[in-house]
Amino acid sequence: MTTPRPFGRALCAMITPFTATGDLDLPAAQKLAARLMSEGCDGLVLNGTTGESPTTSDAEKTALVRAVREAVGATAHVVAGVGSSDTRHTVELAQAAEEAGADGLLVVTPYYSRPPQPALEAHFRRVADATGVPLMLYDIPGRTGTRIEPETMLRLADHPRIAAVKDCAYDLLGSTKVISRTELAYYSGCEEMNLPLYAVGGAGCVSTVANAAPRQVRAVLDAYDKGDTAEATRLNQLLFPLTELMMASGLPGTVTAKALVDAGPVREPLQPAGREASDGLRAAYEELLRA
């Protein structure tokens, strides 16, 4: 069975650059996007968690998609985060992103209101029916409070424009069940699950760490595709110290990525990494480059 990969394999959950005064920095975003693509990414996911979507306006989101699309050209995969807690608003964001040039939409589970599974299914179908590009469902119950249950995924898989899942559910058994029974492309959204999910039929990853180390994130998948599982494991272990500091140090991935990548400040309520954390991140990154 061939694993579907509608957006490639190695995607970066791209940070959103801001100027020193906190405004959206489109030239910096274009420069970053071009670099990430040149260093091994197959695509970019904009306006997601790492892209600080809770604190960017609708107009900023659309402008970012348009600018990045212009920078990377037609061959790169550009997926735009459009999810919200309001179905009508999500549809509006989805249509604006499609018009701005996105060729995929990342749609998060509606948060806070915690809709039951039939309401979730109706929400995703409503967004998919309103647009002409494929959807990547974003299953991240730790943030939204609601899981997209495997049985719901199985039903949603019959929609022609629901193509993929960004999987942050930490349920390898449930994910394997859906992968084995559908054509949905599962992308790991949790760095420590990139290789395990890939090994059970996942399509690839949407990686925050790739903001700093795109070649290294891709190399793990490349080695696995070549059948060299020992090398994939070795490369994954080399990446682990940086991954742990970026994703499990108590700081959001947005904060740790911006400590390593020159992309301006984070927006409040987030705060920048302190000196000790920044020094540790930099040391781990430089050690990875020497490996």
DSSP code for 110: P
Calculate helix-pair angle for 275-290, 229-247, nearest 10 degrees: 170
- Alpha-carbon radius of gyration of the chain: 18
DSSP letters, 122-154, are HHHHHHHHT-SS-EEEEE-HHHHS----HHHHH
The C-alpha atoms of residue 173 and residue 171 are separated, in whole angstroms, by 5
Which tokens sit at 68? 């990045």
Amino acid in the structure at residue 238: L
Cβ count within 10 A of residue 132? 9
> Is 285 a known active-site residue?
no
| Three-state secondary structure call for residue 47 | coil
With DSSP H G I counted as helix, E B as strand and the rest as coil, what are the percentages for the chain, rounded to 5? 50, 15, 35
Candidates 31, 61, 112, 138; catalytic one? 138
Candidates 31, 61, 111, 166; catalytic one? 166
> Is 138 a known active-site residue?
yes
The number of angstroms, rounded, from the C-alpha of 60 to the middle of its chain's C-alpha atoms is: 18
State the burial class of residue 75 (Cβ atoms within 10 Å of its Cβ: 0-12, 13-18, 19+). exposed
Structure-derived torsion over alpha carbons of residues 109, 163, 186, 33, reported in degrees to the nearest 10: -80
Could you give the residue numbers annotated as active site?
A: 138, 166
